[in-house]
């Protein structure tokens, strides 16, 4: 199945910790890739973002889905 989520990063699981109902899974990403972020136009203007700028993609852990072949 092909899915609409734009960002897929392959790597190796390095650590798994489990709690009551949740689990934390760490993945060492092996190849850097391209990330697509959707933000408000207002943010692009207020941060003065331009092509060529250095930037950081910031993602909360609860927003990451794990896939396994």
Cβ contact 58:47 at 8 Å: no
Q: How many residues bind a copy of itself (CB under 8 A)?
A: 68
CB of 33 to a copy of itself, least distance (A): 6
Rounded (5°) CA angle 12-16-20: 150
CB of 49 to a copy of itself, least distance (A): 6
- Hey, which residues between 4 and 63 contact a copy of itself (CB under 8 A)? 4-44, 46-63
Query: Which conformational region is residue 44 in: left (phi greater than 0), alpha (psi within -120 to 50 degrees), or beta?
Result: alpha
Rule CB under 8 A: which residues touch a copy of itself? 1-44, 46-69
């Amino acid at each position: 199945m092909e899915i609409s989520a734009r960002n897929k990063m392959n790597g190796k699981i390095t650590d798994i910790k489990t709690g009551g109902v949740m689990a934390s899974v760490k993945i060492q990403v092996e190849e850097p890739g391209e990330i697509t972020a959707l933000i408000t136009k207002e943010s692009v203007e207020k941060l003065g973002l331009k092509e060529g700028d250095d930037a950081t993609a910031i993602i909360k852990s609860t927003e990451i889905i794990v896939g396994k072949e």
